[in-house]
Amino acid sequence: MRIGFVGLGNMGRHMARHLILAGYQVTVHDVRQKAAAEHLALGATWAATPAECAAAADVFITMVPTPRVVEDVMLRAGAAAALPEGALWIDMSTSTPAAAEHVGIRRLDAPVSGMARGAEAGMLQIFVGGAAEDFERARPLFHVMGDPSKVLHVGGLGAGYTVKLMINLLWFCHLVATSEVLAMGVKAGVNLSVLRDSLLASPAASHFLDSDVLCVLNDGDYDDSFAMALACKDLGLAVDLGRDLGVSTELSALVEQIYRRARAQYGDLAGEMSPVRLYETLAGKEFRLTEGGAPCLVSAV
């Protein structure tokens, strides 16, 4: 099977590498040719344009930052028109159904969770929307890039995008709510470790509080592998989707505002957990359990 792969960023570079190591014939493209150096050393072929990357592909994969870039690659750069008859396009970006619909070709939406660590380990969670037969055709590729037990066919076209946006939205809400609770408890004089243990022993326990937030609490690591600019993009897409569907988004819109305030204060490239810093300021101290500790275990976005 010949694979074209566009987008060799923090996630895509690992995903493409796993496909090469699994023995697939892979052609790669990125706006930065130097991003492909490791792939070319492993036997991949370089394509100078997205259209050239698509032209020889049985399966064409995009892993790019925004819906606008998806459309740039597929339409304005000509990848969709260059795909051979019968080829399958798999968009693994966090995007929207509308962006893919504009392209109008045979496709799957298959966004991922697990962050760069999951991509590096080949253990991503993959949420796939599209026809069952196309999902089965692509399943071996997904199993190379992700955890087979967490490769899920979640519905028809667009369902993968929607599930991924909802996962990110809920995770960001968990972060803001947890930060607010920790700030109040700490400022009221409760020991941070005691407060966290109490919350975990209660019906308010969450995976975020148990695991994801440890990178901040142990190491002061706000997870710069996923930038605030991308987090705000995802929140904006989720809120827009809610409005389009006629679903009330007051809470989501507030979380988005808090994220945008953190982005303005700490910068586009600050880590996705930077809103915690806003609440540390309100509490008058950093949220730390120990000096040193476990690595960041962020798993949702």
Token digits for 134? Answer: 């196309």
CA dist list (Å): 232 to 6, 165, 166, 272, 297: 23, 12, 14, 9, 21
Cβ-count burial of 220 within 10 angstroms (0-12 exposed, 13-18 middle, 19+ buried)?
A: middle
Task: State yes or no: is 285 an active-site residue.
Answer: no
What six digits make up the tokens of 7? 């987008």
Distance set, CA 148 to CA 117, 127, 183, 278 (Å): 16, 11, 39, 38
- Pairing state between β 146-155 and 25-29: unpaired
Active-site entry in 164, 187, 233, 285 = 164
Instruction: Evaluate whether 90 touches 61 at the Cβ level (below 8 Å).
Output: yes
If you ran DSSP here, which 8-state letter would residue 66 be given? S
C-alpha distances out from residue 211 to 71, 105, 175, Å? 36, 40, 12
Structure tokens at 97: 């159904």
Element (H, E) at 237: helix 228-245
285/196 Cα distance (integer angstroms) = 16
The total number of residues shown for the chain amounts to 301
Residues marked active site are found at: 164
